Amino acid sequence: MAWDADSTGQGQDAQAVDLPEPCLVVLVGPGASGKSSWAARQFRAEQIVSSDQLRAMAGAGADDLATSDDAFALLDQIVAMRVARGLTTVVDTLGLDRARRAGWISLARAQEVACVAVAFDTPAAQCRERNRSRPRPIPASALTQQLKSWAATRPGLAGEGFTQVIAPAPVRVVRTPFVGATQAAARQREAPVGLRFGLHIGAFNPPGGAPGLRAWLRELAVGAEAVGFDAVYVMDHFRQIPQIGRAWDDFLESYSTLAYLAACTQRVQLGTLVTGITYRNVAHLGKIVATLDVLSGGRAVCGLGLGWFAAEHAAYGWPFPPVGSRYDLLQDALELLPLLWGPGSPSYRGRVLDVPEATCYPRPLQEHVPVIVGGGGERRTLRLAAQYADAANVMGDLATVARKADVLRAHCLDTGRQVRLTHLSTVLVGTDRREVDQRVEAGRPRGRGSQAYAVSVNAGTIADHVGRFRALCDAGVGEVMLRLADPQSLQPLAEVIAAFR
């Protein structure tokens, strides 16, 4: 099925202006120009800080002008606290005081938050008509003064230092990875490109615990294959890493898990992302990968990395060599493994490895087992990938990925080889914005804010992710490895994957 923006439930947002989250939004315009009504349609109530509401709280009502100083003092405190916490905030006032506008711009810059002005160019006659229909209209003389002030303010608004000045059109406040996603998704519809998708399993926490692991894992892998994933990867660790969970959380050994998945699946490639080079004798590792390839029918992928988890090494009594020694070991492994998987029993002597007979029978079914080097180190890791590997796996935002892609291309020019770039990230996917918000709220850990959690798991709609992945493609990525924050993301990912087929 060809991907269509309307099928994602996002058609109504096709012409919306994307604003980065978090951002500080300042409404600017005369009274009765529609500021509060527009804000209520575009933002949640808790995101809007209104001078009228604060006057009502501090005094006798929203029109109690005697409490204006107190109301604005409260407003400034609330806005400052929200922006410091990285929360999207809408300032609903007249916005006609230039000094106050300058203060909000400075506040946003200090916190490295976008500051957007929304300019309400509502005709004066319409403002007066709306005002007359209010239960408590603004005095006519006061509204006239506001209209004059607005006329004087509007021409210079764009030059005051706002990140952007927009009209009161529909907006979407989107997490940083999805800024520009609407345009990128349009490029994918108009000029589609291909992209590989891998499922990355980084946690083993099914309902019911360990007794349910076997069935849960099988269902997840079979489901991934059914919706179009090209590969399934697992982490190569022996206890959970602190970025994801607790050391005592259930965690399966990687290659035993891949062997089980080989029996559960038919098509997807299987590998670690990535094998810590310090965890196993390298020749033994080559034998393990070859066995996986044979028993999976030629679907093994070999991921390799330096290893970084010092506490895990200490807990299991393994040595954790200095980084230079680990680089030597990684380079030796990249040289040895193809020899081991090839014919005969050649000897190998490297920087730290000495293997008298690199023997491996049965050999892998694949003539060439794909090798992925994990890590974004620009001077050594990406160069090793360019010298020996088929792909380099990196993490980070779009700008980081684009820089890594440039570095990898430069190394490939030196080595005369072509190496794919892959990207690992966590995702939460919903069919529309409401479903995304519901899943974020349901999945966020206790005590962690919805916005911070949503950012950490790249929570977005189908259309958001199509745009995000197209932007990564344009930066040079050929495969995305996705760790699911919510297993329910698997089904909507089918539409995302279909957009790249």
Instruction: Give 10-residue mean pLDDT values along the chain (501 residues).
Output: 40 67 94 95 93 82 74 93 93 95 96 95 96 91 96 96 95 83 93 97 92 95 97 97 93 97 98 96 97 98 96 95 97 97 94 95 97 96 98 95 97 96 96 90 85 88 95 97 94 96 94
Q: Which of 111, 61, 66 is nearest to 89 (CA)?
A: 111
Pseudo-torsion of CA 257, 262, 264, 266, nearest 10°? Answer: 150
Task: Count each helix (H run) and each strand (E run) in the chain, helices first.
Answer: 18, 19
The widest CA-to-CA distance across the chain, in whole angstroms, is 96
Same domain, yes or no: 76 and 199: no
Same domain, yes or no: 277 and 420: yes
Same domain, yes or no: 223 and 323: yes
Same domain, yes or no: 201 and 327: yes
Same domain, yes or no: 141 and 244: no
Does residue 12 form part of some domain? no
Domain that holds residue 87: 17-169
Is residue 212 within 8 A of residue 56, CB to CB? The reply is no
Same domain, yes or no: 33 and 75: yes
Does residue 501 form part of some domain? no
Domain count for the chain: 2
Same domain, yes or no: 39 and 140: yes
- pTM reported for the whole predicted model: 0.82
The alpha carbon of residue 132 and the mean position of all alpha carbons in its chain are separated, in whole angstroms, by 48
Q: Which of 177, 241, 205 is nearest to 425 (CA)?
A: 177
Is residue 254 within 8 A of residue 236, CB to CB? The reply is yes
Provide the b/e sequence for 430-453 (b: ≥16 CB within 10 Å).
Answer: bbbbebbeebbeebbeeeeeebeb
What is the 3 state secondary structure string of 357-376? Answer: CCCCCCCCCCCCCCEEEECC
Identify the pLDDT of residue 172: 82
Identify the pLDDT of residue 65: 67
Output the domain CATH number for residue 65: 3.40.50.300
Which of 426, 460, 481 delimits the end of a domain?
Answer: 426
Distance in angstroms (rounded) separating the CA atoms of residues 204 and 399: 31
Same domain, yes or no: 160 and 199: no
